[in-house]
C-alpha cells in the first residue's frame, strides 16, 4: 500500500504544504505553524481511537539512551558508547491494541511422581554379592486434555513498517491506564504517522502474540508434578482491534562512517530503551585469539615444551 | 445511565474508555466524518495562537501565552457506597444479646462473665463491602486421589458454568477480615435502601465507614475474589475424589455487576475486670456475634491439674521406670485458646522471689491516665503491658549489650535478662511480666532507681506514656 504524496492547504496562511505519504502532522514552511492532518478513514488506515501522550522529555530520553549506550557490553563497538546522541525525534507510532476472548483446547502428558522401593545388588568390600534396597522417585504419565478460556487484552502490535514488532516489544510495556481518547491536540507539533502495515498484517501479528500469551497461561495451568508435550489450539471470539498512537523517541546513532546508522528507541512514557547493538567481531576475534594463545602456552608448559 | 460492555457485559462507568475486564473499547460518542484530506491547527482558547503538545506538562500548551489545554481527564475515583442495609437491631437489643452471649461461652470462661462485664463503648457502624453478581465459564485442572494408579495423585480437568450471586467482599479497614467473614452470611441484602436514607436507617450517631480503594484497584480485587471463589467451588463441587492439590481455574466472566454496600454492625467494647474486650454484633441478626472473651485461668489451671494428676496416678505407675511427673508450677500458663495473647490476666499471687534489687509494678497502681491509654490500645488490638514498655525504656535509656542474655549467677533466675553497660560498669537488668504486672530488677542500685523513676514518670503522665508507646505496635 503506497500513498502518493499529497498537498494540503495551511489553514493559517493558505500556503500549500507537501505531505509525506502517511504523515498525520505537518508544519507549514511559510508560517511555521503546526497542523494536524485528517484523512478519510479507510480499512487499513482508520482514525486513531486512542493515544498515549509523551511524558518523557527530550532531555530525559537522551539521558536514557546515553545510559543505555554506556552500559553496552565489551563486545559492542566502542564508538557506540561515545556516539553523539543528538538527532532525537519524538514520534507517535501507530499501533493496534487488540483484545479477544480466547478458547483453547489443550492436551499434554501429565506426570505424577511416586516413590518405589527397589532392590539392587552390589559387590561389597569382601568381594561378595550383596542385595540392598533403595527408594527411587518414578513418574507415571497420564494423557490429559481439557479446555481453557480467558480474556486476552492489552496486546499491542506495531502498525508501522518503520518499526518492527520486536522493537516495539523491546520498549513495552506502556502504562495503558493513561490511555486517552485520540485528540489531535495530543499530537500537535510532533511527528505522527498513519499505519503503513495493512490491517490484515497487524491482525495476524496480534493473534500470534495472543496465542503466545495463552501458551504462557497454560504452562501455569497444568496439574501434576511435571508435564511435557503440551499442544493447544486457540480460537478467538469477539475480537476487537483499535488503532492507538503511542509515544516513542527515535534516534539514529552513527557509530561508524561505513555502517548504516543504528536505530535506538526510547519509550516516550517510561524511558525504556531498546536497540539492536551490533557485535564488534574484531573484538571477539581478538579475545578468541588471546584465549587460544593462553591455552596453547598452558599446553606447551604442561607437556614440558618441545623436547 | 450505565452501559454494559458489548463483549463481556461488564457494567461500565460513563468515563471508561475500555472495559476494565476484557479490554474492549467502549462506544465512541461521536467520530468526525472526514471526506477529504485537510489540515487543522489547534488553537489556544485564550489567545488564538497555535497549541503544541508538551511532554513537560503532559498536556497541550500554547507556545504564546503558555496556557495549558485541558484534555479529557483520566478518572480513577474512590467510589462510595450506593446502597445501604438498614439496622434491624437497636442498641438495647444488641447489649442484651451480648449479655446472653457472654453467659453461654462455655466452661473455660469466668462464671461471672455475663454479670460482671460492663459495656464501655457501643458504636453502630456501616462497614463498606462490594456485592457482585456474575456468571462464569470455568475451566479447571487439579490433582486428586480419584482414579489414582501407582502415584497418590491422578490429574483431572473439567469445565462448567458457575453463577455467583450476591457474593460479598469486604472493603472495611475497621473490621477484620475474620469478623467480616463471620457476619457476611447473616445479611439479608434484600432490605437495601439508598444511602441518602442513612439518617432514618440506623440509631443516632451511626458511623458510615468510607470506601478508600480506587476504582481500578477495586475492580482488580473483585476479579481476584471471583477467581478465588471459583477455585474454592471447583474444589468443593467439581473435582472427584476426597483429597486435592494444584486446583486451578481459568475463568471467562460474563455480565459482572458490582454494587457498593454499607452493611450494619455494632462494634462494642466491654470491660471485665481491668480489661476491655472487643465484640462485633450483626446489625440485622443480634444472635450473630464475633469477638473475644477472657479465659478463666483458674478453671484452665484446674483442669490442667486434674489431667496432670490423672496422668501421674494412672500412667506413671504403669511406667514404673520413668520418674514422677512434676506438678504444674503456679506459673504454669497454658497457651490461650482465643487469639488474644495480649489479654493474659494477672496471676493471683506472685511467688516471693524478689529482693531489694527489684521493684514490682502492679496493675492496681496504674494511674487513671495509664488505664485510659492502656484501654484504648487494647481496643485497637495491640496490647501494651508494663513489661513491653519497660523493655523499651531499657533499650532507650541504657546501653544494652545483649538482650535475651543468659542470667548471671548473682541475678534472680527468672524473667528476661539484659546485659547492660552503666557508665563503664557491666551489669544486668531483668524484666518479668505477668499480665499487667511486671517485675523489674537490676544488678546496680543506680540502674534500678533510674528505671523506677522512669516508670513513675510514665505512670504519672499519660502523654509521656503515649509518646513512649508511639504509633507502632508493641509486640
Enumerate the residues of chain B whose CB falls inside 8 A of the CB of residue A238.
7, 24
A101 Cβ under 8 Å from any chain B Cβ? yes
CB contact under 8 A, B142 and A97: no
Place of cell 509523551: A54
| Nearest residue to A90 (alpha-carbon basis) of A238, A213, A249 | A249
DSSP string, B204-272: TT-EEPPP-S-HHHHHHHHHHHHHHHHHHHIIIIIS-SS-EEEEEEEEEEEEEEEEEEEEEEEEEEEEE
Note down pLDDT in tens along chain B; length 475 residues: 457 888 888 888 878 888 888 888 887 777 777 888 888 888 887 788 888 898 888 888 887 888 887 777 777 888 888 889 999 999 999 989 988 888 888 778 888 888 888 888 889 999 999 998 999 999 999 999 998 888 999 999 999 999 998 889 999 988 998 999 999 999 988 888 888 887 788 888 888 898 888 888 888 888 899 999 999 999 999 999 899 999 999 999 988 888 899 999 999 888 888 888 899 999 999 989 998 888 888 888 999 999 999 888 877 666 655 444 444 444 444 444 433 333 333 333 344 466 788 888 888 888 888 888 777 766 554 567 788 788 878 877 777 777 777 777 778 878 888 888 776 678 888 888 777 788 888 888 888 888 888 888 888 888 888 777 764 433 2
Give pLDDT tens digits for A241-265.
999 999 999 998 888 888 888 889 9
| Cis peptide preceding A248, ω within 30 of 0 | no
A41 Cβ under 8 Å from any chain B Cβ? yes
**Res B340: pLDDT:** 35
Give pLDDT tens digits for B276-302.
889 999 999 998 999 888 888 888 899
Q: In whole angstroms, give the CA distance from residue B167 to residue A193.
A: 47
Q: How many A/B residue pairs have CB atoms within 8 Å?
A: 201
Phi-psi region of B416 (alpha: psi -120 to 50; beta: other; left: phi over 0): beta
| Nearest residue to B239 (alpha-carbon basis) of B339, B131, B141 | B141
ipTM of the complex in this document: 0.82
B264-293: b (≥16 Cβ within 10 Å) or e = bbbbbbbebbbbbbbbbbbbbbbebbbbbb
* Region A120-129 average pLDDT: 86
CB contact under 8 A, A37 and B39: yes
- A276 in helix, strand or coil? coil
C-alpha cell belonging to residue B6: 458489548
Between CA B13 and CA A239, with CA A175 as vertex, the angle to 5 degrees is 60
| Nearest residue to B129 (alpha-carbon basis) of B34, B302, B323, B261 | B261
CB contact under 8 A, B251 and A144: no
Q: What is the reported pTM? A: 0.70
CB contact under 8 A, A186 and B42: no
CB contact under 8 A, A101 and B252: yes
Q: Mutate which of B9, B19, B55 to disrupt the A interface (most A C-beta within 10 Å)?
A: B55
A55 Cβ under 8 Å from any chain B Cβ? yes
Q: In whole angstroms, give the CA distance from residue B164 to residue B181.
A: 17
| Nearest residue to B278 (alpha-carbon basis) of B168, B70, B119 | B119
Name the least confident of A42-56, A85-99, A191-205, B393-407: B393-407
**Res B325: pLDDT:** 43
Distance from CA of B350 to the nearest CA of A (A): 56
**Res B319: pLDDT:** 64
Q: Name the residue among B41, B58, B153 with its Cβ closest to that of A53.
A: B58
Distant-in-sequence, close-in-space partners of B49: CB < 8 Å, separation ≥ 6: B43, B62, B63, B64, B65
CB contact under 8 A, A268 and B51: no
A30 Cβ under 8 Å from any chain B Cβ? no
Distant-in-sequence, close-in-space partners of B132: CB < 8 Å, separation ≥ 6: B164, B167, B169, B222, B225, B226, B256, B257, B258, B259
Enumerate the residues of chain A whose CB falls inside 8 A of the CB of residue B74.
177-180
Q: What are the two backbone dihedrals, phi and then psi, of residue B120, each rounded to the nearest 5 degrees?
A: -100, -30
Asked whether the predicted pLDDT for residue A141 surpasses 60, the reply is yes
| Nearest residue to A93 (alpha-carbon basis) of A44, A31, A162, A144 | A162
A242 Cβ under 8 Å from any chain B Cβ? yes
Q: In whole angstroms, give the CA distance from residue A86 to residue A91.
A: 15
What percentage of residues in chain A have a pLDDT greater than 90?
55
Distance from CA of B166 to the nearest CA of A (A): 23
Is pLDDT larger for residue A230 or for residue A42? A230
CB contact under 8 A, A90 and B55: yes
Quote the mean pLDDT of chain A: 89
Kindly identify which residue of chain A lies nearest to residue B145, measuring between CA atoms.
A112
CB contact under 8 A, B252 and A149: yes
For residue B167, CA distances in Å to A219, B45, B222 come to: 30, 49, 10
Q: Mutate which of A30, A108, A192, A224 to disrupt the B interface (most B C-beta within 10 Å)?
A: A224
| Nearest residue to B357 (alpha-carbon basis) of B258, B432, B276, B463 | B432
CB contact under 8 A, A145 and B157: yes
**Res A64: pLDDT:** 92
C-alpha cell belonging to residue B313: 496416678
Distant-in-sequence, close-in-space partners of B471: CB < 8 Å, separation ≥ 6: none
Is pLDDT larger for residue A62 or for residue A76? A62
DSSP string, A110-138: EEEEEEEEEEEEEE-TTS-EEEEEEEEEE
DSSP tag of B190: G
C-alpha cell belonging to residue B360: 514490682
* Region A53-69 average pLDDT: 92
| Nearest residue to B139 (alpha-carbon basis) of A223, A111, A238, A100 | A223
CB contact under 8 A, B153 and A224: yes
CB contact under 8 A, A153 and B148: no
DSSP string, B59-76: EEEETTT-PBPPPPP---
Between CA B65 and CA B71, with CA B69 as vertex, the angle to 5 degrees is 170
Distance from CA of B195 to the nearest CA of A (A): 30
C-alpha cell belonging to residue B107: 466452661
CB contact under 8 A, A34 and B34: no
Sign of dihedral through CA atoms B28, B34, B39, B40?
negative
CB contact under 8 A, A221 and B38: no
Query: B421 and B399 in contact (C-beta within 8 Å)?
Result: yes
Q: Mutate which of A21, A188, A270 to disrupt the B interface (most B C-beta within 10 Å)?
A: A188
Sign of dihedral through CA atoms A161, A163, A167, A173?
negative
**Res B353: pLDDT:** 62
The answer for A 4-23 residues in CB contact with B (under 8 A) is 6, 8-12, 17, 19
CB contact under 8 A, B155 and A112: yes
Q: In whole angstroms, give the CA distance from residue A11 to residue B41.
A: 7
CB contact under 8 A, B39 and A8: yes
Query: B120 and B270 in contact (C-beta within 8 Å)?
Result: yes
Specify which residues B279 forms β-bridges with.
Answer: B268, B291
Q: Name the residue among B25, B31, B252 with its Cβ closest to that of A240.
A: B25
Amino acid at each position: 500500500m503506497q500513498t502518493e504524496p499529497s498537498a494540503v492547504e495551511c489553514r493559517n496562511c493558505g500556503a500549500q504544504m507537501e505531505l509525506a505519504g502517511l504523515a498525520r502532522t505537518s508544519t507549514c514552511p511559510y508560517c511555521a505553524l503546526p497542523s494536524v492532518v485528517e484523512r478519510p478513514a479507510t480499512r487499513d488506515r482508520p482514525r486513531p481511537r486512542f493515544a498515549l501522550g509523551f511524558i518523557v522529555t527530550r532531555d530525559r530520553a537522551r539521558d536514557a539512551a546515553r545510559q543505555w549506550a554506556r552500559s553496552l557490553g565489551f563486545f559492542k563497538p566502542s564508538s557506540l558508547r561515545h556516539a553523539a546522541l543528538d538527532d532525537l525525534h519524538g514520534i507517535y507510532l501507530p499501533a493496534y491494541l487488540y483484545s479477544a476472548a480466547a478458547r483453547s483446547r489443550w492436551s499434554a502428558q501429565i506426570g505424577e511422581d511416586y516413590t518405589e522401593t527397589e532392590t539392587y545388588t552390589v559387590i561389597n568390600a569382601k568381594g561378595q554379592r550383596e542385595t540392598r534396597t533403595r527408594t527411587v522417585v518414578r513418574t507415571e504419565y497420564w494423557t490429559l486434555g481439557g479446555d481453557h478460556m480467558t480474556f486476552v487484552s492489552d496486546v499491542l502490535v506495531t502498525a508501522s513498517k518503520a518499526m518492527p514488532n520486536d522493537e516495539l516489544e523491546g520498549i513495552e510495556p506502556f502504562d495503558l491506564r493513561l490511555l486517552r481518547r485520540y485528540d489531535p491536540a495530543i499530537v500537535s507539533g510532533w511527528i505522527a504517522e498513519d499505519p503503513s502495515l495493512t490491517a490484515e498484517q497487524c491482525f495476524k501479528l496480534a493473534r500470534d502474540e495472543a496465542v503466545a500469551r495463552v501458551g504462557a497461561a497454560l504452562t501455569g495451568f497444568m496439574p501434576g508434578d511435571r508435564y511435557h508435550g503440551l499442544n493447544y489450539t486457540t480460537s478467538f471470539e469477539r475480537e476487537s482491534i483499535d488503532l492507538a498512537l503511542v509515544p516513542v523517541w527515535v534516534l539514529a546513532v552513527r557509530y561508524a562512517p561505513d555502517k548504516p546508522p543504528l536505530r535506538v528507541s526510547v519509550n516516550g512514557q517510561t524511558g525504556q530503551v531498546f536497540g539492536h547493538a551490533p557485535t564488534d567481531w574484531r573484538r571477539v576475534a581478538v579475545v578468541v585469539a588471546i584465549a587460544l594463545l593462553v591455552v596453547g602456552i598452558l599446553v606447551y608448559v604442561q607437556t614440558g615444551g618441545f623436547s | 445511565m450505565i452501559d454494559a460492555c458489548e463483549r463481556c457485559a461488564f457494567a461500565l462507568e460513563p468515563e471508561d474508555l475500555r472495559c476494565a475486564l476484557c479490554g474492549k473499547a467502549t462506544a465512541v460518542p461521536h467520530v468526525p466524518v472526514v471526506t477529504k484530506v485537510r489540515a487543522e491547527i489547534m488553537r489556544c482558547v485564550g489567545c488564538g495562537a497555535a497549541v503544541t503538545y508538551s511532554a513537560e506538562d503532559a498536556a497541550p500548551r500554547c507556545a504564546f501565552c503558555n496556557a495549558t489545554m485541558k484534555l479529557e481527564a483520566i478518572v480513577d475515583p474512590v467510589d462510595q457506597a450506593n446502597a445501604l442495609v438498614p439496622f434491624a437491631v437497636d442498641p438495647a437489643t444488641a447489649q442484651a444479646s451480648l449479655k446472653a452471649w457472654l453467659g453461654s461461652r462455655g466452661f473455660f470462661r469466668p462464671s461471672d462473665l455475663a454479670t460482671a462485664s460492663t459495656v464501655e463503648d457501643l458504636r453502630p457502624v456501616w462497614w463498606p463491602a462490594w456485592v457482585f453478581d456474575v456468571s462464569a465459564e470455568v475451566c479447571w485442572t487439579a490433582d486428586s486421589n480419584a482414579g489414582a494408579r501407582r502415584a497418590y495423585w491422578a490429574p483431572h480437568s473439567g469445565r462448567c458454568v458457575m453463577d455467583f450471586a450476591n457474593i460479598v467482599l469486604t472493603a472495611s479497614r475497621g473490621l477484620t477480615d475474620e469478623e467480616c467473614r463471620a457476619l457476611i452470611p447473616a445479611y439479608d441484602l434484600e432490605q437495601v435502601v439508598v444511602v441518602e436514607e442513612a439518617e432514618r436507617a440506623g440509631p443516632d450517631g451511626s458511623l458510615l465507614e468510607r470506601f478508600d480503594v480506587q476504582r481500578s484497584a477495586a475492580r482488580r480485587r473483585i476479579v481476584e475474589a471471583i477467581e478465588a471463589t471459583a477455585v474454592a467451588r471447583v474444589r468443593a463441587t467439581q473435582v472427584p475424589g476426597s483429597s486435592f492439590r494444584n486446583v486451578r481455574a481459568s475463568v471467562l466472566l460474563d455480565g459482572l455487576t458490582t454494587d457498593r454496600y454499607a452493611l450494619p454492625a455494632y462494634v462494642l467494647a466491654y470491660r471485665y475486670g481491668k480489661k476491655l474486650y472487643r465484640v462485633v454484633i450483626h446489625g440485622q441478626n443480634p444472635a450473630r456475634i464475633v469477638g473475644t472473651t477472657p479465659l478463666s485461668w483458674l478453671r484452665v489451671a484446674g483442669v490442667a491439674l486434674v489431667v496432670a494428676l490423672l496422668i501421674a496416678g494412672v500412667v506413671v505407675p504403669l511406667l514404673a521406670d520413668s520418674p514422677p511427673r512434676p506438678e504444674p508450677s503456679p506459673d504454669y500458663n497454658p497457651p490461650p485458646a482465643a487469639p488474644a495473647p495480649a489479654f493474659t490476666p494477672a496471676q493471683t499471687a506472685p511467688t516471693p522471689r524478689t529482693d531489694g534489687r527489684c521493684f514490682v509494678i502492679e496493675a492496681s497502681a496504674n494511674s487513671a491516665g495509664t488505664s485510659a491509654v492502656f484501654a484504648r490500645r487494647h481496643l485497637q488490638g495491640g496490647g501494651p503491658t508494663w513489661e513491653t514498655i519497660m523493655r523499651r525504656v531499657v533499650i532507650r535509656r541504657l546501653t544494652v549489650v545483649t538482650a535475651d542474655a543468659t542470667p548471671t549467677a548473682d541475678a534472680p533466675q527468672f524473667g528476661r535478662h539484659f546485659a547492660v553497660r552503666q557508665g563503664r560498669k557491666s551489669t544486668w537488668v531483668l524484666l518479668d511480666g505477668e499480665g499487667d504486672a511486671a517485675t523489674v530488677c537490676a544488678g546496680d542500685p543506680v540502674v534500678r532507681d533510674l528505671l523506677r523513676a522512669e516508670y513513675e514518670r510514665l505512670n504519672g503522665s499519660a502523654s509521656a506514656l503515649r509518646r513512649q508507646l508511639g504509633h507502632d505496635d508493641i509486640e
